[in-house]
């Protein structure tokens, strides 16, 4: 059996920018807040130095510059860590990009607790909530290298503001690039099942797939749905899952407040009420440590998904002994 390839979606981002430029995206420009090596916009800078602008440690200013460039017919991608792009620069994104609905793409890396050793100050678990609250803002969180590249290219082609969350941690690549079709606002059903629907985003999609395999061996058939576009949410795929499965679990590397879980709950509660359980970061901050350990500490694992599913589907049957 071949070893599973792992690639951080921040690397996918840097490579996708170069591929766009090589493919004729002559109006593409890239801005960074003195973190090109970490956000991987440095890959683009090496290939196209005249189209990469280091704005320094001044994220709010960077968004203002990106807004101005967009009014001149350019398509700017502005990058920093999620904590500083979505957090520190929120007001500029809201008022200078969202309000005039400018064609600016905010690509934020180092989202979530998988940032690991950088600790709570850098582990942004609120970016989905912040960006979802801005009218007209598209919010995406790709699950692997293939989807991340596709999301970046789709963001470039889309006319309007986009926020993309990318990760520091290398994650398994499970999509087949040759047969993968991506569309903003469309979810993706990855497995068949009608006992429960597991709706996941980002690195939690692979955990959901592993959980589904484990559950299948226990006679529980889980439908795994990958939601890259958190806003606008694919209501059709969510409601179909709610109707056909009757139980829903959401999984995200984000606070359970304001993210994918609440987006799904909003749709389901209004249009087709079914039980929903949210797996994510509870109402708390992160902490420093190796990424895999931190994810485990916060229950963002396949094992915890399996436990949550069993509690919903078979509440009277204890898990089988290992």
Please tell me the predicted confidence (pLDDT) of residue 321: 42
Q: Are strands 105-109 and 222-226 parallel, antiparallel or unpaired?
A: unpaired
Q: Does 317 score more than 80 pLDDT?
A: no
Tokens 């229950």 map to which residue?
299
Sign of CA dihedral 110, 73, 181, 177: negative
Considering the domain boundaries, does residue 1 fall inside one? no
Considering the domain boundaries, does residue 56 fall inside one? yes
Asked whether residue 144 falls in the same domain as residue 255, the answer is no
Counting the structural domains of the chain, the total is 2
Asked whether residue 17 falls in the same domain as residue 159, the answer is yes
Mean pLDDT (the chain) is 96
Asked whether residue 32 falls in the same domain as residue 164, the answer is yes
CA 253 to the chain's CA centroid: 8
Q: Does 320 score more than 60 pLDDT?
A: no
Per-residue pLDDT band at 314 (split at 50, 70, 90): confident
Asked whether residue 166 falls in the same domain as residue 237, the answer is no
Considering the domain boundaries, does residue 105 fall inside one? yes
How confident is the model over 184-200, as a mean pLDDT?
98
- In percent, the amount of the chain with pLDDT more than 90 equals 96
How confident is the model over 218-227, as a mean pLDDT?
97
The CATH number that applies at residue 300 is 3.40.50.920
Asked whether residue 195 falls in the same domain as residue 160, the answer is no
pTM for the complete prediction?
0.96
Please tell me the predicted confidence (pLDDT) of residue 225: 98
Catalytic residue numbers, as ranges: 59
Asked whether residue 30 falls in the same domain as residue 153, the answer is yes
Please tell me the predicted confidence (pLDDT) of residue 2: 63
Considering the domain boundaries, does residue 182 fall inside one? no
- Provide φ and ψ at 25, rounded to 5°: -80, 75
Residues with Cβ < 8 Å from 211, sequence gap 6 or more?
A: 198, 222, 302, 303, 305, 306, 309
pLDDT digits (tens, 9 = 90+) for 55-92: 999 999 999 999 999 999 999 999 999 999 999 999 99
pLDDT digits (tens, 9 = 90+) for 244-294: 999 999 999 999 999 999 999 999 999 999 999 999 999 999 999 999 999
The CATH number that applies at residue 97 is 3.40.50.970
Please tell me the predicted confidence (pLDDT) of residue 319: 60
Please tell me the predicted confidence (pLDDT) of residue 1: 47
How confident is the model over 146-157, as a mean pLDDT?
98
Are the beta carbons of 142 and 9 closer than 8 angstroms?
A: yes
Considering the domain boundaries, does residue 240 fall inside one? yes
Please tell me the predicted confidence (pLDDT) of residue 322: 42
Please tell me the predicted confidence (pLDDT) of residue 4: 87
What residue numbers bound the domain in which 167 lies? 6-172
Among the listed residues 165, 202, 207, 205, the one whose alpha carbon sits nearest the alpha carbon of residue 299: 207
pLDDT digits (tens, 9 = 90+) for 79-137: 999 999 999 999 999 999 999 999 999 999 999 999 999 999 999 999 999 999 999 99
- Provide φ and ψ at 56, rounded to 5°: 75, -175
């Amino acid at each position: 059996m071949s070893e599973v390839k792992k690639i951080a979606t921040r690397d996918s981002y840097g490579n996708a920018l170069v591929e766009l430029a090589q493919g004729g995206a002559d109006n593409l420009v890239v801005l960074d807040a003195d973190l090109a090596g970490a956000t991987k916009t440095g890959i683009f800078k090496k290939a196209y130095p005249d189209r990469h602008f280091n704005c320094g440690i001044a994220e709010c200013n960077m968004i203002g510059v990106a807004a101005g460039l967009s009014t001149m017919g350019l398509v700017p991608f502005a990058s920093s860590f999620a904590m500083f792009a979505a957090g520190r620069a929120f007001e500029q994104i809201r008022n200078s990009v969202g309000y005039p609905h400018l064609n600016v793409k905010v690509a934020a890396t180092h989202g979530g607790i998988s940032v690991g050793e950088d600790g709570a100050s850098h582990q942004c678990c609120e970016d989905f909530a912040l960006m979802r609250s801005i009218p007209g803002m598209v919010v995406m969180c790709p699950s692997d290298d293939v989807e991340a590249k596709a999301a970046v290219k789709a963001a470039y082609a889309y006319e309007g503001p986009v926020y993309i969350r990318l990760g520091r941690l290398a994650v398994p690549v499970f999509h087949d690039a040759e047969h993968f079709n991506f569309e903003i606002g469309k979810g993706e059903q990855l497995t068949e099942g009608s006992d429960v629907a597991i709706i996941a985003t980002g690195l939690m999609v692979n955990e959901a797939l592993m959980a589904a395999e484990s559950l299948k061996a226990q006679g529980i058939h889980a439908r795994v749905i990958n939601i890259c576009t958190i806003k606008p949410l694919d209501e059709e795929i969510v409601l179909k899952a709610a109707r056909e499965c009757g139980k829903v679990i959401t999984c995200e590397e984000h606070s359970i407040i304001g993210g994918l879980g609440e987006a799904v709950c909003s749709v389901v509660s209004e249009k087709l009420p079914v039980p929903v359980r949210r797996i994510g970061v509870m109402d708390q901050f992160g902490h420093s440590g190796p990424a895999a350990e931190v994810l485990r500490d916060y229950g963002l694992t396949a094992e915890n998904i399996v436990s949550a599913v069993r509690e919903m589907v078979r509440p009277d049957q204890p898990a089988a002994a290992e």
